Amino acid sequence: MAKESVIPRQLRLDDTTILYDAALVAEPQNSFFEPGFWRAQGGLELAPAGRGSAFFFQYEEVFYVLRHYCRGGLVRFFSKDTYLWTALESTRAWREWHLLAEMRQRGLPVPRPWAARVQRHGLWYRADIIIERFSNVITLTAAAKDFMSVELWQAVGMCIRRFHDEGVYHADLNAHNILIGINGTEAGPVYVIDFDRGEFRSPDKVWQSANLDRLHRSLDKLTDNGSIKGFDAEAWQALLTGYASVLASSARH
CA dist list (Å): 220 to 115, 150, 151, 191, 217? 35, 18, 20, 21, 5
Contacts of 224 (CB under 8 A, 6+ apart): none
Contact call for residues 138 and 99 (beta carbons, < 8 A): no
Q: What is the distance between the alpha carbons of residues 19 and 93, in angstroms, rounded to a whole number? A: 9
Q: Helix H segments across the chain?
A: 35-40, 92-105, 140-143, 150-165, 205-224, 233-252
Note if 14 is an active site residue: no
Helix (H, G, I), strand (E, B) or coil at 57: strand
Catalytic residue among 172, 220, 224, 232: 172
Contact call for residues 163 and 191 (beta carbons, < 8 A): no
Catalytic positions are: 172
